[in-house]
Amino acid sequence: MMNYQLTSAELNCLRSLQQAAADLGIPFFAVGATARWLAFNLPNDIPLHRTTTDWDFGVRVADWGIFNQLRQKLIAQADPFRQGRREHELIHNASGIKIDLVPFGGLENDGRIRWPNTEAEMNVFGFSEAFENAVQLDLAPDLKLSVATVPLLVALKFFAFADRKDDMDRDLSDLWHVVQNYILEGRESELYDEPLSLIVDETFDWEYARPLLLGYDVGRACQPATVQRLGPILQELTDPYSKYIHRLIPSSASAEREATERQRVSVSFFWLMKGLQLPR
């Protein structure tokens, strides 16, 4: 396994979280930008397209009482956290690192949770799949971290985009970053084998090989019910004039370049959808 170099402050923050969760027998794993950095950018030497100070973790619990036990233990331990502005935010006092704890499991209702105090809802559909398929990364000799795989991170990000697409731009830009940089090298021959060869012919434009492979990998990683839910989300992005596509077009683009870029982006999502729908 690859060893990742984190700062001592970051490692201590993770150790504190890990110890508190272990004491309560609560499993957790990294999701969001943190997981994407560890599982995608670092091992493939891909520069980050944006930085974030938030670390996101999925926490599998049976009910809100157990989740609150974890939160209180993190606040009360020797290397403590303090409550952030929102219910799921905690800040590590020694380092200033903010962590977002997203509970899933027994407290879900059709893939959604409702925070008790604010009644705010959050989509956690796919978190259980992502947790079950997470990989263990060695972060230090005494520290391993469960991290969601890239295909399942992409699935979770599509659900996040669908949930807050009218309020937030970054979900789509995060997805586009992975689509454009997904690793193709060493996998070219897969496009000549079934099932990919069923949709790749002599007219296929290899510019879209990366999104096709990504969609195929997402489809293999997800359960059929998850693939079914992803379909309509992707379908909307295959329209070059979708009101969300403009978020990926430079504001300085000429009308001609905007039209070209809209087409390229929408066709990329079309091929991602085609890969997603291939037989497992």
Closest CA to 234 of 131, 152, 157: 157
Q: Coil, strand or helix: which one is 98?
A: strand
Give the separation between CA 159 and CA 226, rounded to whole angstroms: 10
Give the separation between CA 111 and CA 153, rounded to whole angstroms: 16
pLDDT tens-digit readout, 204-236 = 999 999 999 999 999 999 999 999 999 999 999
Residue 2: pLDDT above 90? Answer: no
Closest CA to 27 of 110, 122, 105: 105
Instruction: Specify the CATH number for 8-148; select among 3.40.50, 2.40.128, 3.30.460, 3.30.450.
Output: 3.30.460
Of the pLDDT bands very low, low, confident and very high (cuts 50, 70, 90), residue 167 is confident
Tell me the pTM.
0.92
Give the neighbor-by-neighbor strand order of the sheet with 81-83: 81-83, 89-92, 98-105, 54-61, 28-31, 143-147, 135-140
Delimit the CATH 3.30.460 region(s) of the chain.
8-148
Q: Coil, strand or helix: which one is 116?
A: coil
pLDDT tens-digit readout, 62-119 = 999 999 999 999 999 888 999 998 888 999 999 999 999 999 999 999 899 999 888 8
Strand partners for 114: 121
